[in-house]
Amino acid sequence: MFTIEKNDPLCRARTGCLKTGHINAETPVFMPVGTQATVKTLTPDDLYQIGASIILSNTYHLYLRPGEQLIARAGGLHSFMNWERGVLTDSGGFQVFSLSAMRKISDQGVEFQSHIDGSAHFLTPEKVMQIQMDLGADIAMCFDECAPYPCNYEEARQAVERTTLWARRCREAHHSDRQILFGIVQGNVFPDLRLKSAQDLLALDFPGYAIGGLSVGESKKEMYETIQAMDSLLPRERPRYLMGVGAPEDLLEGIRHGIDMFDCVLPTRLARHGSAYTRQGRITVRNREYAEDFLPLDPDCGCAVCKGFSRAYIRHLVKAGEMLAHRLITYHNVHFLVNLMKEARQAIRAGRYMDFYHQFLTVYQIS
């Protein structure tokens, strides 16, 4: 399923190949988020042109609407959304636990109210596995408890214990031979809890491991220290997935410490607010300073949007409330991160990842 092709000589970065189901992806890889079985404003053809090899969809949202049984009758997610490449489904744990005023957690599962219509639901690890098998994703994720940040040590410890309990039940309930299952390491920013969670999950021998519970409010320093610690705890021969992290500087830091897979809503969310990635940092193209700027969003970018449209035109679309603005900026932002991964792979293969890392961050202004 996963092979490592090249290790960088000066850090822990590596390139590899992940093959399973519809997935044939070079790693490190950025996975655009298609929560509702669509990457907002983009078509599958757009994603093919951009070079996306895996997209992420969300179990919680698809369970509530349109329902996993309908998607199963359509032939699974790939057929339902006309996407021929890889799909990973998040377990929905983060979404459920973000509904703090609308849910009740026990060792058995989570009782919650739908954010759509207020209806009552109860998700167990076994049910989450069945939903993901019905959805037909290539990679499924264990149901886990994501402790909030900040939280006290005891809250984080209980979340780790429950994550292990549920991971064991997910492992037992998952029986698809067309889908692989990843475990999710929790522990908040407490090193000993991260160690315990990793050890517990390693004993269950998952094909891949994810690092959850980051990019939820902790400092960059805390995030990076946790990622570095995970590098020494997770097996090198298995794919490693850093969940919900998508800022360019965070992606490069993750790669530096042996992370293979990333996802984040940031490129599409920024686009809806009129912001675009450039080599010099993020720009907010809706601002007045771009009203007569006829440069592309990023002069150093070769995507279809930057080849054909100016900042001034896209700003006009934003100010006029035209949907095309969101589509164009989203296309560019997703391309920017997918291409950043391509450049990182090239640098690793050349044995110069740290040069690439420093050169990029010397120019890129972190927002």
Strand partners, 56: 33, 88
Q: What angle do CA 134, 139, 142 make, to 5 degrees?
A: 80
* Cα–Cα separations (whole angstroms), residue 48 to 8, 22, 54, 88: 28, 14, 10, 16
Question: Which residue, chain included where needed, has tokens 């019905």?
Answer: 134
The answer to whether the CB of 245 falls within 8 A of the CB of 215 is: yes
How far is Cα 325 from Cα 327, in angstroms, rounded to an integer? 5
Q: Which helix (H) or strand (E) holds 210?
A: strand 208-211
* Residues contacting 34, CB < 8 A, separation 6+: 40, 55, 56, 57, 81
Strand partners, 26: 17
- List phi, psi (to 5°) of 9: -75, -20
* Cα–Cα separations (whole angstroms), residue 226 to 9, 128, 179, 246, 364: 22, 27, 28, 16, 23
90 annotated active-site:
yes
How far is Cα 58 from Cα 88, in angstroms, rounded to an integer? 8
Active-site position among 8, 138, 144, 263: 263
Q: Which helix (H) or strand (E) holds 26?
A: strand 23-27
End-to-end CA distance of the chain: 37
What is the identity of the amino acid at 343?
E
The answer to whether the CB of 141 falls within 8 A of the CB of 90 is: yes
260 annotated active-site:
no
Active-site position among 90, 200, 250, 298: 90
What positions carry a catalytic annotation?
90, 263
